[in-house]
Structures are given as C-alpha cells and as structure tokens.
C-alpha cells in the first residue's frame, strides 16, 4: 500500500524535475550529458540524497550514487536509472526510475523495514547518448565496455569533445575508466523504467518484469547506380538506386513481420540529391531487432537478399556493412523469477522482453540485474507523448519497494 505522504513525496519530486531542460516550443526534454540542464538534474539528485541523509558520491565516470548503509560491506542492492534524455524526449524515460528509487526508499523507511544489505540509488550519466552518439557511456565505462580514450575522443555536433565537456562541467576526464571494485560490491541491480511499448497496457497490468533485451544492430546499405538527367533519360536506360532502396524498405517490413521481428530504415542519404537528377547513390541505415540472434540474422540476411535481387534487375550495386551489434541480454533468471513472485499477490507479475537498450543491459554481464516496467498507455517513447498514469507510477514505487525489501531486508 502507498500512503498519502509517500504519494506526495513522489509528486513533489516529479514536479521539481518537470521544468528542468524542457523546451518551451516542443514541450520535449533536452537534457544532454554535461550541459547546464544535466547539471540541474544532477544537482537535484545530490539534494535528494542529502535531504534523506544518504551518503552521496560521484564515481570516476560521473555516475551519481546515494548510499543507505556502508558500500564497503558489499552485496549491495542498487536501484536507479538515468536523468538525461533524447532530443525532445518524454518526461518518463529515465527520471521515472530515479524518482521511483528515492520514493521506494522512503516507502521502505515508512514500513519500518531494516535493510541487512547496503542500498543505493544511482543516476547513470549519458545513457541516451544524445550528445556524443554512444549510448550508456556511464555504465559502459564502469563495466569496461568502452575504452576511456575512445570515450574522451567522442565529439558532439559542435565539435566539442566529451573530455572537454566533462572539464567544463568540473569533472576530470583523465579519471574515467573501468570500476570493477565498485561493481564487485553490488549484489543486485534493479532498474525501474517506463515501458517503451504497449504490452502491459494490453495485459491490463500496471507493472511487469523484464525477461530480456532483444539483440539489435545497425546495418548500412549502399545502393550504387548512375546519376543522369530526370528529363532526358528513358526509363529503360536508367540505373536508379532509389528504386532498389524503396523495394528494400518494403522488403524489410515484410521480412520482419513474417519473423515476428522489427526492421526499420529510419535514415537515408541520397547523392547528389537533386530533384531533377536520378540518384547516383542511396545510403539507407537499417535498425533491426528480434527475440533471438538467429532470427535477427535470418531477417537481415533476407532483407539483404531482397536488396541484391532487386539491385540486379535495376543495374544497381548493393553492399551491406554491419555498423554495430548488441547481443541478446538475458536478465538473471533467478532474480527475474524472484521479482515476478514478489510482485504477484496470487498471480505473478507479467514477464516481458524489450527491444530497447538500457544501463541494466550493460551491467548484466557483471552484476545480477533485473528490470521493472511501468505501464505506458500510449506505448510511445522518446517523444513528449510518452506517458504513465500517476496511479501506475505509484504502483511502480510500491513494487520497487517490495523488491528492495525482499532482496535487502529478509
Ligand atoms: Zn531510458
């Protein structure tokens, strides 16, 4: 049960954060790593820690921690998420997890629960990668999955390096790097996150548990044809890569649908890009995700096959380069099942996969990790239309408190 006082605590925190980094024109959030809006979010986090008498610290990579109990005791139960956003993002992706973490600690205290393990709330820096193009920088550095020099050399759209941005924000970029001792002190990490889809809404449940993060990747398709005059070149004489590209986009949709996977061409570049010119080259970027790596490989292979087949008919050369790949993340089964049971009075909480990446996915290789999802009735994410009802948010807080109590207090 959530008491009125705890509900008010959530609402107050939510209100305090609501204006930070919000763009007046779009209503979306622009909280990019190491900007003034990010600094305001970080200051808010520090104040929440201090208001509660939690021990506050920032680690070498800039992630923020608020500790209840002695971190050195080990086997800590950590919860949290991120406060940064995508360009014109919604209010919930990230902040819901951080605000709910503080509210869940408050609820535990209200219940008189006595943790036997250290508890912490974390804010991972630069999860979205909106400014420097790499997602989960804070957790990747900590887990040793991003080389410090590669991180320092990342640049934003204005040519400002991550190293310089950290310096401007008062951080030491020379200090960044793996933090195995910190990870070794964590016995479990639980990230609460707004659902980025409609599965919970369709099930009629406010809170669910993550089973896995789908494997996903990005592929660049290059279609090379021949530039020519749009007004004088007969159709039969053309080598138009736009046709091959268009057919490939349609094929991607069909192959994904047949396989129960996802495939999206969300970015395209055309050369020379004249209205009255047949293109010489089209580049399209495919994002594809599926429940398992074998299905994903099959879908991408089928799309590539369709592209080459059509390319042969159009006189267009097709080449495909995989630009990135993230393997499947299976969250720790025992922790996942324990969470589902802890949350289900009578009927266990639904267990569902997600197609979106998270800090929890990065940490899962080093630490037993789980995720809770809160219902998002629109299913929309990375947009101001992202939403969650206050009752569902409070149900998420209670669920997280149940999980923390179950893990740390028994
Ligand atoms: Zn997120």
Q: Which two tokens stand for residue 116?
A: 């036997």
In terms of Cα–Cα distance, which of 80, 68, 69, 58 is closest to 367?
80
> Cα(193) to centroid of ligand 1, in Å?
7
The CA 358 to ligand 1 mean position distance, Å, reads 6
CB distance 225 to 290 below 8 Å: no
pLDDT value at residue 42:
98
193 known ligand binder: yes
Residue 188 in contact with residue 335, Cβ under 8 Å? Answer: yes
The CA distance from 383 to 285, in Å, is: 21
List, in order of start, the domains of the chain with CATH numbers: 4-214+328-408 (3.40.630.10), 217-326 (3.30.70.360)
The most distant pair of C-alpha atoms in the chain lies apart, rounded to whole Å, by 81
pLDDT of residue 8: 59
- The pLDDT, as a whole number, for residue 3 is 44
The alpha helices in 115-175, defined as continuous H runs, are: 137-142, 148-152, 162-168
Q: Which residues of the chain have pLDDT under 70?
A: 1-8, 345
Distance from Cα 369 to the centre of ligand 1, integer Å: 15
CA proximity to 179, closest of 141, 214, 212: 141
Cα–ligand 1 centroid distance for 249 (angstroms): 28
Per-residue model confidence as pLDDT tens digits over 359-377: 999 999 999 999 999 999 9
Find out whether 38 is annotated in a ligand binding site: no
Q: Which pLDDT does position 340 carry in this prediction?
A: 87
Beta strands in 256-355 (DSSP E): 262-271, 277-278, 281-289, 317-326, 329-330, 351-354
Is residue 299 helix, strand or coil? helix
Q: What is the pLDDT of residue 4?
A: 41
Expressed in angstroms and rounded, the spacing between residue 56 Cα and the centre of ligand 1 is 22
Q: Tell me, what's the pLDDT at 1?
A: 38
Centre of ligand 1 from the C-alpha of residue 347, in Å? 27
pLDDT of residue 341: 85
CA–CA distance, 391 with 30 (Å, rounded to integer): 26
Separation between Cα atoms, residue 213 and residue 329, nearest integer Å: 5
pTM surpassing 0.75?
yes
Region of residue 350 (left: phi > 0; alpha: psi -120 to 50; beta: else): beta
Query: From ligand 1's centre to the CA of 97, what distance in Å?
Result: 9
């Amino acid at each position: 049960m959530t008491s009125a006082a705890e509900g008010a605590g959530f609402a107050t925190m939510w209100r305090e954060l609501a204006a930070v980094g919000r763009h007046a024109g779009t209503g979306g959030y622009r909280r990019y790593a190491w900007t003034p809006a990010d600094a305001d979010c970080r200051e808010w986090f520090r104040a929440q820690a201090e208001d509660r008498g939690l021990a506050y610290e920032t680690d070498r990579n800039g992630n923020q921690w608020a500790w209840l109990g002695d971190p050195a005791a080990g086997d800590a139960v950590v919860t949290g998420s991120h406060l940064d956003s995508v360009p014109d993002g919604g209010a919930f992706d990230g902040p819901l997890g951080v605000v709910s973490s503080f509210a869940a600690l408050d609820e535990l205290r209200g219940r008189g629960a006595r943790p036997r393990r250290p508890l912490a709330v974390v804010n991972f820096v630069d999860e979205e990668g909106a400014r420097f193009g790499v997602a989960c920088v804070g957790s990747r550095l900590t887990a040793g999955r991003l080389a410090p020099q590669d991180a320092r050399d990342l640049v934003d759209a204005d040519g400002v390096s991550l190293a310089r941005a950290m310096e401007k924000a008062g951080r030491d970029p020379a200090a960044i790097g793996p933090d195995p001792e910190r990870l070794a002190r964590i016995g479990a990490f639980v990230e609460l996150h707004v659902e980025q889809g409609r599965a919970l809404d369709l099930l009629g449940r406010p809170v669910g548990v993550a089973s896995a993060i789908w494997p996903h990747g990005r592929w660049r398709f290059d279609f090379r044809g021949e530039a020519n005059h749009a007004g004088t070149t007969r159709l039969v004489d053309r080598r138009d890569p736009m046709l091959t590209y268009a057919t490939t986009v349609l094929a991607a949709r069909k192959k994904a649908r047949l396989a129960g996977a996802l495939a999206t061409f969300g970015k395209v570049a055309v050369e020379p890009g004249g209205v009255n010119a047949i293109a010489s080259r089209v580049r399209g970027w495919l994002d594809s995700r599926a429940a398992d790596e074998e299905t994903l490989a099959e879908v991408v292979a089928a799309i590539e096959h369709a592209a080459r087949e059509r390319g042969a008919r159009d006189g267009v050369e097709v080449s495909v380069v995989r630009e990135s790949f993230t393997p499947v993340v299976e969250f720790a089964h025992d922790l996942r099942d324990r969470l589902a049971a802890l949350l289900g009075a009578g009927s266990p909480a639904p267990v569902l996969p997600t197609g979106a990446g998270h800090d929890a996915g990065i940490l899962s290789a080093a630490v037993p990790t789980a995720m809770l999802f809160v219902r998002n009735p629109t299913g929309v994410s990375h947009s101001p239309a992202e939403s969650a009802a206050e009752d569902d948010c409070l149900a998420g807080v209670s669920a997280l408190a149940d999980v923390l109590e179950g893990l740390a207090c028994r």
